[in-house]
Structure 1
Amino acid sequence: MKIALDPYMYRHLSIPKMVEKVADLGYEYIELSPREDFLPFYKYPRVDKARIREFKNALRDTGVKLSSLLPMQHWAGPEEEDREAAVRNWMRCIEIAVEMDVDVLNTEFTGHSDKPYKCEQMFMRSMEELLPIIEKEGINLHIQAHPFDFIERNNDAVDLIRGLDKDFVGYFYAVPHTFFYDNGKGDIASMLEYAGDKLKHINIADTYNHKASSCLRYVVNPPGVHATVHQHMDIGKGDINWDVLFSKLREIKFDGIATVAVFGEEDRADDSSRFMLQEVKKGLDIESRQKEIFADLYKK
C-alpha cells in the first residue's frame, strides 16, 4: 500500500520546497493535485522539460516518490467545445505522466449533476479517444464520483467503471464524499463491498453528513438553492465512522493508494498532515501488515 499526501495546502510553495515539506512531514509519496504552475484546474498544463527536471531532481534528492497525478478537466462537460479542449489537455497530461515515470492518473467524472444523460454521452466520447492512449502508455486510470458530477452515487460510479471493462480503469473512493455516495446513509462497508475488485484508490478526510439534522447540518441561503457542500477535515472532526472504514479496508486487505486529502486546515497544515499520517497508519495497522510481509518474504 502507498500512503500519499495531497499537498494542496502547500501549493504556495515552489515545487522543490513542496517536495521537501512532504519529506519533512514523514510521507513517502505525493499525489499531485492541481496547482497553477503544473497541472492547473481545467487548463492546459504549465509544464516544460525544465520544470519536469526540477521536480524529478527534488524527488531524487528527498527520496519521496510520486504515487499519482490528478488532472482535472471538463472531459464530461455538456459543451462539445469544452470537451474537446479537455481531451487535448488530457493528452498532454498523459505525456507528462510518462515523462515523470508515473503510472497512475486519478481524476473525477466531472460534468453536471443536472445534465446526467448529456454528460454521460460526452464522457463516453472522451473515453473513446483517451482510453487507447492511456492503455498504450501503460497507465492506470482511477476515477472518483464527486458532488455535482454527472454521477454522484457510489454504486452508479462503480457500475459505469465496470461497463468500461478495462483492467487499467479503477474506482477511487473519496471518504469525504461518503454521504453523497449513498444519499446520507453513510454505509461505508456496503459501498466498499460493492466496489469490490474495482477499488484501487481512496482519499482520506473527515466530513459532515449534509443530510443530518433534518438536512440542516448546513444552512444554505436562499433556502432550496441548488448547491453541494462538503469538507475535507482531520479525522474525528466530522461524521465519518472511522472504525467501520478502517476495519473494512483491513478486512478486504486493501493494497492500493491511500491519499491524505485534507484541505480545510491550512492554518495548521503541518500539524494536520502529521496527525493524519499517524491516524491512517494506525487505522490500517500498517506496522503489523509490514511484519507479515517481511515474515512471508523470510519464509520464501
Structure 2
Amino acid sequence: MPKIALDPTPFHHDLSLLELPRKVAELGYEYLQLTPHEDFIPFYTHPKADDDLVDAFVAASRDAGVQVASVLPVLRWSGPDRESREAAVKKWKRVIEITKRLGVDTINTEFSGRPERAEESEDQFYWAMEELLPIIEASDIRVLIDPHPDDFVEDGLEALRVIRGLNSKRIGFAYVACHTFHYGGNMDEIIDAAGDSLQLIHVADTFDHTRSHGLRYISNPPGNTARVHQHLPVGRGDVDFDAFWAALARNGFTDREDTVACSSVFAEDENADEVSQYQLDAITKGLTR
C-alpha cells in the first residue's frame, strides 16, 4: 500500500511551519509532503532552514505522530543559462542535506527550464545532473520529477525519455493527475511506459483545456503561451479517475510500499479541512479498489 500524504500548502497562510504536522495528523493523515515554505525551502531561492529548524520540524512531526513522505523543492536547475543553473545546483546541495537530516529518502520536483528554449534547457539539466547525480546516489535518496506545465519538457512520454537518459535508478517519474492534459492526455500510455520509474503521484482534478477545439478557456491576447490548469478535489474536473486508479494497479504502483500518493488540492483553501478529509477517503478507496 502506498504512503498517503497531504500537501499542507493550503494551511501555510494560517499556520506556522511547526504547526503543520499537528494539523496534518488532525486531518487523519500519517504522512505529509514538505512543499515550498518561506521558512524552509522557498520557491527558487536558497533554503532558509538551518539545522536547528530542521531538527525542530522532525520533533514536531514526531510529536504529532506523522512522517515526512517527500520533500518538494522547486529550483531553476535547468537554466536555460549557465548562471541560473549553477546557482540552482548550489541550492540543490543544501536541499539534499536537509532531506537527509529529516530522515527522508524521497525528493520530488519539477524539470523547470523554458519551453521556448527547450534544447538549451535540456542541456543545462544534464549539466546540473552531472554534478548532482553522484551526490544523490551517495546519499541513497531518490529524485522523482514531474514535467510541469511551462517546463522545458511538458509531454509525459518525452519526460520519461529525458529521465531514462540519466541512466540512474535513483531518478524516477512523478505523475501529477491534474497535469494530465498538458502531458498529452494519454494517461494509460504514460503510466504503462513509466513502469517502476513511477514512484509518486499527486492526486487532484482539473479541466481539460483542450476541449471545445481549444476554446475551453479564452485568454487574451489570442495565441499567448499561458498554461492553465487547476488542482481540484477528485471528481470536480475532467480527469478519468477510474482509468487512473486502474492504470496504477496495472503498473504495480498500488502494490508497493515505497510509493507515495499525495493529495494536492489548492483550489478551495476556505474549505481545506473538509477537502483534505474528502481527498484522504477518495485516495484510499482508489488505491484499494
Query: TM-score per shorter chain, which class?
Result: over 0.9
Establish whether residue 237 from structure 1 lines up as the match of residue 233 from structure 2.
no
Q: Which residue of 1 aligns with 2:115?
A: 113
Please state how far the C-alpha of 1:109 moved relative to its aligned partner.
0.5
Residue among 156, 159, 175 paired with 1:173: 175
**Aligned pairs (5 A) from 1:174-193:** 174-182=176-184, 186-193=185-192
User: Residue 165 of structure 2: SS of its match in structure 1?
Assistant: helix
Q: Normalising by the residue count of structure 2, what TM-score does the alignment of the two structures yield?
A: 0.96
In the other structure, the counterpart of 1:139 is: 141
| 2:271 aligned counterpart, secondary structure | helix
Largest Rg, 1 or 2: 1
| Greater RCO structure (CA 8 Å; 6+ sep) | 2
Q: Which one of the candidate residues 155, 158, 161 is aligned to 1:159?
A: 161
Distance in 1 of aligned mates of 2:143 and 2:247: 23
Match for 2:30 among 28, 31, 48?
28
RMSD: 1.0
- Counterpart Cα distance in 2 of 1:198 and 1:51: 32
Q: Given residue 178 of structure 1, which amino acid in structure 2 is its aligned partner? A: T
* Amino acid aligned to 1:132: P
Q: What whole-Å deviation, never above 9, does each CA across 1:188-224 have from its counterpart, x for those lacking one?
A: 2121101112111111100011101111111101111
Q: Deviations for 1:221-260, whole angstroms, at most 9, x for unmatched residues?
A: 1111111111100011110001110122123331311111
For residues 259 and 67 of structure 1, the distance between their equivalents in structure 2, rounded to whole angstroms, comes to 9
- Superposition deviation, residue 78 in structure 1: 1.2
Counterpart for residue 292 of structure 1 = none
Question: In 1, distance between residues paired with 2:83 and 2:30?
Answer: 39
Q: Once the two structures are superposed, what CA deviation does each residue of 1:100-144 show, in whole Å capped at 9, x if it has no partner?
A: 111111101000011000000100000001000011111111111
Deviations 1:76-119 (A, max 9, x none): 02121111110000001011111111111110100001100000
After TM superposition, give the deviation of residue 34 of structure 1 in Å: 0.4
Matched, 1:270 2:273: yes
Give the Cα–Cα distance (whole angstroms) in 2 for the partners of residues 84 and 226 of structure 1: 27
* Residue 9 (1) aligns with residue 10 (2): yes
Q: Specify every segment of 5 or more residues in structure 2 that has no aligned partner in the other structure, as ranges.
A: none
Question: Which segments of 5 or more consecutive residues in structure 1 lack a partner in the other structure?
Answer: 287-300
Partner of 2:248 in structure 1?
A: 249
Q: Return the letter of the residue paired with 2:143.
A: L
> Could you give the per-residue CA deviations for residues 164-185 of structure 1, whole angstroms, max 9, x where no partner exists?
1101111111111100111xxx
Identical aligned residues as a percent: 45
Alpha-carbon distance between aligned partners in 2 of 1:139 and 1:243, rounded to the nearest angstrom? 32
Match of 1:224 in 2: 223
Question: Corresponding residue for 1:39?
Answer: 41
Cα drift, residue 50 of structure 1: 2.1
What is the aligned residue count?
A: 283
The 1-side partners of 2:275 and 2:217 are apart by 24
Report the secondary structure of 1:170's partner residue. strand
Partners of 2:51 and 2:240 in 1: how far apart?
44
